[in-house]
Every structure is written in C-alpha cells, then in structure tokens.
Amino acid sequence: MTRLLDINDLHVTFPTEDGDVRAVDGISLTLDAGETVAIVGESGSGKTVTSLSVLGLHNRKRTRLNGEILVHTEAGAVDVVSCNDEELRKLRGSAVAMIFQDPMSSLHPYYSIGNQLAEAYRVVSKASKSDALKRCVEMLDLVGIPEPQKRVKEYPHQFSGGMRQRVMIAMALINNPRILIADEPTTALDVTVQAQILSLLKELQREFNMGILLITHDLGVVAEVADRVNVMYAGKVVERGSVDDIYYRPLAPYTMGLLSSIPSVYGKGTGRLSAIPGQPPSLISLPEGCSFASRCSFASQVVGASCATDAPHLIEDEPGHFARCHLALADRRTAGAKFAAKGGNA
Amino acid sequence: MISYIARRLLYAAVILLLVSMAVYAIFQFLPFDPAALTCGKNCRPNLIAANRVRLGFDKPVWEQYWLFLSGIFVGRDYGVGSAAFTCPAPSLGYSFRQNACVTDLIKQALPVTLSLAIGALILWLIVGIGLGILAARFKDSPIDTGSTVFVLIGTSLPTFVTGLLLLIYLTLKNNIIPLNFDGYISIFDNPAKFFIYFLLPWITLAFSFSAIYTRYTRSAVIETSGEDYIRTAWAKGLKPKVVLRKHTLRAALAPLTTMAGLDFAGLLGGAILTETIFDLPGLGRMSLKAVNDFDLPVVLATTLLAAAIVVIMNLVVDLLYAVLDPRVRVG
C-alpha cells in the first residue's frame, strides 16, 4: 500500500470575537492509494473543515492550524500546515484535487466548460491549447458525458446538476491527482443521480488507484463506497473502523444514535423515527469531559470515570476498531448489537 | 442573437414614440400661449397671430405633433414667402427666443456635455473600480479604512460644494489649474487646452460617482470571493492573480456595466449642476436656461433627447450584458 496522506493531531481554530472556535480538535487519519476513507458526522462536526484544510482552502490569515497534514507526492512529503502559499498552490489540482457539495454553484457561470477544464489542465501540465482541448474532451467522455466534442463548448447553466458534478469530477481528475477529496459529492443531487455519481467515482478510483477522502453525513453513501470510516463529533473522531465495524458492531454511543436515526423501509414499524436528543455543544466552549455526555443515554451507566469531567480517549477496542467512550466494552458491545444496521438497507 | 437585437430595437422605437407623445402632450397642457412667448413684452397682437401661423400653432394638436414628428425625419419648413425658413432634418423645432433651429443649438451643446460625461465616466471608473478592488483585496487594512472615509465624503458632499471647493482651492487661491477664459475648445483642435478646460468639471462630476463605485466594487469583490466557484478556482491551483482577474473580477464587475451605462445616460441628458458651476455651454445649462426663459421648443427637444439617450443606453447595456454573461444570451 502506498501512503498518500497522513493527518496527525490536526487542530483547526477560528479566532472570533466571542472566543476561539475549535472546529477540529485533534484529529488523526491516514489515506492509502486505492482506498476510500469516509468522514461522517452531522453539520458542524468539523468534517468539512478537515477536508478544506488538506488543500489549505480556508482564509489562512483567519485560521489557526496546528498539527501536521503530510501529503505524499512523487517528489516527497509536503506538510500543508507549515508550507508556504506557493508550495500549497502547487499541491492543489496536481497532487490533491477536490469536488464540492453543490455542483450548481461550483462552476464559474461566465466561462465555458472547456475553458474551465483546460485552465485546470494547463496550470499543471503547461500543455498547448489544442492538446488541452483534446484532454478536456477525453475527460468528459471518461466521466460519461454524451457528445463531449459538442458539450465542451457549452456553459454550466446548460448542464443538469448530475452532469455538472460529472464535469467537476472530470476537472478534478484531469491532472491524475493521487488524492481526491469529495466533500458531500452527492448531497445536492437526487437519489438516482447519487448512485450514478458514486459508481462513477468507484470506477475511476479503480482505474487510477486514487485515494478518496469522502466527507458525508449520509450513512447510505458511506456503506456504498467507503473502506474505512471515521465518525466525527464536535471536532473529534469518536469512532473509527471498517464499514462493517461501524455498521454492525458500533462501539461509540454517538454512532449508535446515528445508526438508529436512519429511516429504514425494513424497520420494525414503530412508526416514529428516532433522533439523538439535544444539540451538539458550542465549539467555543466545549464541555470539560466527553462532549457527547449531555446527549448520551449511557452516561449514567459509566463506572469508574465521570463523563462530565474526564474526556475519554480514542482507544483501540478491537483490532483496527477505535472508539472514544468510558462505558465498559462489554456493555457497549451489547448496546451496539441492538443498534446495528439491519442489513440490506444500511 | 440577431432576432433579439431586432426585437429590442423595435421595442426601443415604440418606447421612444410613446415618450415623444407624452412629452408633447404635457407641453399642450402648460398655461402658456406658445405664440405669445415668441416675442417678449412688446408683442403686438398681429405679430403673435403671424407667428402662430408661421410656427404652426394654429393647427390642431395632432397635426402639430405630426409635423414635429415628421420634421425629425424630413426637416421642417416654417412660414411662407420672404419670411420662410427651413430647419433641415433632423429638425426638433425652432427656438424663437434664440432665433435658431433647436437641432443646431443641440449640435453646439452636445459635444460639451459628451466631453464632460465621457471624461468623468473614465475617471470615476478608474478611481472607483481601482480603489474598490484595493479595499476588498486589503480588507480591514488602512487602505480599506481610507476608502471608507473617501466613500463617506464622496457620497455626502453635494456636487455644488465639491465643485466650488475645487474651484476656490485649485484655481482661485493656488492657481494649480489655470482659469480658462477662452470657452469650450474641442479635443481635436487643442487637446492640451481641452484637458485643462475640463479637468475641474471632470473631477467634480467623478467625485461622488467614484465614491459610489468604490463602495459597490468593494462589496461585489468581497461577496464574489466567497462564491463556490472561486473556491473551485483556488482548488485548481491557479495563481492568486488569475483567481482575482479572471474569476473574481469578471463576475463581480459585470453588473457594473448596467450601473455605468445608466449613470452615463443620465449625464448625457446634461449635468446641470456641474455645467452651471463651471459655466460649460452643455445640454444641462441649455435646458436650465430654456426652462427659465420659457423657451418651450428647446425644453421639449432636450427632454425628448434625454429620454432617447436613456432608452438607447438601456439597449446598449442589455446587449453588452448578453456578451458578458452567457446565461443572458438568448436565441
């Protein structure tokens, strides 16, 4: 396995007038060639901030980054946190590419598709205009856009949402990047188009042996494409493991809550969808102990530690399966079995 | 695209026709006898009657309107015999006050107003857009604060104050820009004198517009910088220069075309305050004088001209916008 990305103890803080917003609070993860690592969590859990920081796409003046983001390129590893603007710019598009949540607004409305694709290609490869155009047509064909010769001259508003996301994928992959960051790539699309885009991504991943960092809140999408999963809550990873670990043997109460809030057509028919009670904590004043404690139904069953005052650590409970919880492992296994995804629909 | 232009031209023609009718109708309701206005205080009834016939005021209103309208295309003859004279096409009427065809009066005044408006437009676009971009690019820096102060002063000082202050301090007290006694000089005759002649009027007129354009550009650039497609541009690995010039400015400044086009059209109708302060013989001063003198044919013509300019500039702006924004392009 070729290691593509190492994130070590990354902290992302936005200083504001009310205090520091700790959007990402010490996350570590790795990504190898050919695998898909998912980051799952609700809005505000820090998953998008994590993905944007890999490309340094925040306003760097207003963000404090601590830790290490090592991007392994053919020429060696580059630390995104400490490199300068120019080194960072050279990583973008060539080593790490990104596709975004909303394909409707991610393409420039004033320039033709061909112009935007060729621009992405030429900034890295310095190809001639005609070569770039050829490459654009080739890429559009690859992502399944019919009549690419003709459509390359068209403008974004002449494409449907699904087609625009295909264009975004073509643009991201035009320089053969080793890492693709997909930030909620299917959230803005309708369900049938979602499936097409996901299978396209998987197909292209096999072809180019890319590592994909997938950011999503949709557990269905995770089940379909991810190899490993990181569940994030309030800026921290609360559970990490293979897809099967997360779906069938969840060990963190937050993951169990997420699983039980998936609407299921095979459900027991109680009629009501369960939701995790309460709200995520403010990222400005995180609680002293476990940040999930106030919403956790198991907090009262914890023996020997206090959820309210001691923050739990991410511990490898099973080989390759990590969770952040004070509750005894045996109790969590029993509870997890109850919440586990009921096959098929997950 | 061609059918779109043809359709828009047709609409413009219809609008102009309606505007001309409305303006003409308004002047019919004024409590003046246009014939009596032709000869001032020592008018004798027989002279008024003669002028009434000469200028066609004895005919029914619709026929007068028709004569006015056809005069624009074929010219117009007034009177008969030895007293006859002609205002060739495009004729916009005859000013008895000034004893001249209105078209000739406009021909004299238009270049002055045009020179004033074009020069001011260029000046305020350069200052406004330039300062706006700088303020957005260095947001919250001293440059940004400075631009905010400029915007405040520019939008709150009326033209007659700026104009007079400039006149007092740049010309009368310090003689930095010399006073011109020669009157209007065309750029083609003497460019140096032309620039000196128009420098103060340009600065005066461009001052408040620059402030408005600075504020608009600053907020448009800041807002556009937060768009998803700008994030895409950064993610492609483009140089900051390219992101700003090709991606951000193109989208941020396109709506400025509309603003600039309409502001420019408004000025072509005559910048009354500026022209009055600096005594420029342009359309604005001409209209003002015509209003004071009850010179109705001139007022009618300048009103119509101003309306026509606005309609035409609207068309130009829309066509320009279709070139700039592919989403606006139609069949």
- pLDDT per position as a tens digit, B284-297: 999 999 988 888 88
Q: Give the pLDDT score at A344.
A: 39
In tens, the pLDDT along A81-110 reads 999 999 999 999 999 999 998 888 999 999
- On chain B, the residues whose CB falls within 8 A of the CB of A112 are 326
**B97 lies in the same domain as B141:** no
- Give a yes or no: residue B120 inside a domain: yes
B299 touches B292 (CB < 8 A)? no
B interface residues, A as partner, C-beta within 8 Å: 227-229, 231-240, 242, 246-247, 250-251, 254, 324-327
Q: Of B221 and B188, which is predicted with more confidence?
A: B221
Q: Is the CB of A92 inside 8 Å of chain B's CB atoms?
A: yes
Determine, for residues A157 and B327 on separate chains, whether the beta-carbon distance falls below 8 Å.
Answer: yes
> Is residue B18 a part of any domain in this protein?
yes
Say if residue B187's pLDDT is above 90: no
- CB count within 10 Å of CB A1 equals 9
pLDDT at B84 (0 to 100): 75
Residue A266 predicted with pLDDT over 70: no
**Option in A57, A105, A108 nearest B234 (CB):** A57
pTM given for the model:
0.85
Residue B3 pLDDT exceeds 80: yes
- Residue A342: what pLDDT? 58
Size of interface A-B (CB pairs under 8 A): 71
CATH fold of A3-231 reads Rossmann fold (3.40.50)
pLDDT computed for residue B229 by the predictor: 95
Instruction: Output the domain CATH number for residue B232.
Output: 1.10.3720.10
User: Token match 């006015």: residue?
Assistant: B68
**Same domain membership, residue B210 and residue B308:** yes
Range of the domain at B229: 103-324
Contact B237 A119 (CB under 8 A): no
pLDDT at A343: 46
Same domain for B266 and B129 = yes
Do B254 and B287 have their domain in common? Answer: yes
CB contact under 8 A, A97 and B235: yes
pLDDT at A269: 58
Q: Give yes or no for residue A77 having a pLDDT over 80.
A: yes
Residues of A in contact with B232 (CB under 8 A): 100, 106-108, 168, 171
B17-41 pLDDT tens trace: 998 898 888 888 888 777 777 777 7
User: With pLDDT > 90 as the criterion, what percentage of chain A qualifies?
Assistant: 58
Average the pLDDT over B149-171 and give the result: 91
Q: Are residues B118 and B82 in the same domain?
A: no
The pLDDT value recorded for residue A239 is 94
Q: Are residues B74 and B159 in the same domain?
A: no
Amino acid making up residue A76: G
Q: Tell me if B235 and A91 make a contact (CB, 8 A cut-off).
A: no
What is residue B282's predicted lDDT score, i.e. its pLDDT? 92
Residue ranges of the domains in chain A? Answer: 3-231, 255-272+286-339
| A260 CB-contact burial (10 Å; exposed 0-12 / middle 13-18 / buried 19+) | middle
Share of chain B above pLDDT 70, in %: 98
Same domain as B114, residue B44: no
Amino acid found at A220: G
Could you say which of B101, B129, B147 is where a domain stops? Answer: B101
> What is the percent of chain A with per-residue pLDDT over 70, rounded to a whole number?
96
Of A93, A102, A105, the CB nearest to B236: A93
- Considering chain A, what is the average pLDDT of its residues? 89
Q: Which of B268, B269, B251 is nearest to B321 (CA)?
A: B251
Of the ranges A25-29, B187-191, B213-217, B222-226, which one carries the lowest mean pLDDT score? Answer: B187-191
Confidence label for A345 from pLDDT (cuts 50, 70 and 90): very low
Are B117 and B67 contained in the same domain? Answer: no
| B114-139 confidence digits (pLDDT tens) | 999 999 999 999 999 999 999 999 98
A106/B229 CB distance under 8 A: yes
Using alpha carbons, list the distances in angstroms from residue A215 to A49, A227, A276, A342: 10, 13, 21, 23
In a domain, B172, yes or no: yes
d(CA B326, CA B331): 12
Best A60, A108, A173 residue to mutate vs chain B (most B CBs within 10 Å) = A108
Which residue in chain B has the smallest CA separation from A58? B231
In chain B, residues with a C-beta closer than 8 Å to the C-beta of A100 are 228, 231-232
- How close, in Å, is residue B181 to chain A by CA atoms? 50
Query: Does the residue B330 lie in any domain?
Result: no
A105 touches chain B (CB under 8 A): yes
Which DSSP category does A188 fall into? T
Residue of A nearest to B327 (CA): A157
pLDDT in tens, B43-88: 788 888 888 888 788 888 888 899 888 888 888 888 777 767 888 8
Minimum-distance CB partner of A92 among B236, B254, B324: B236
What does the pLDDT read at residue A189? 85
pLDDT in tens, B194-211: 888 899 999 999 999 999
Domains: count for chain B = 2
Mark out the alpha helices in chain A (DSSP H runs): 47-54, 85-91, 103-106, 113-125, 129-142, 148-151, 161-173, 191-208, 219-225, 243-248, 253-260, 329-339
- Tokens, residue A176: 């053969």
- Other CB atoms within a 10 A radius of the CB of residue A287 amount to 16
Is pLDDT above 60 for B171?
A: yes
* A169 in B contact zone (CB under 8 Å): no
Residue A58 contacts B, CB cutoff 8 Å: no
Same domain (yes/no): B293, B162: yes
Q: Minimal Cα distance from B234: which residue of A?
A: A57
| pLDDT, tens digit, 9 for 90 and up, residues B312-331 | 899 899 888 888 888 877 54
Candidate from B237, B247, B324 with C-beta closest to A93: B237
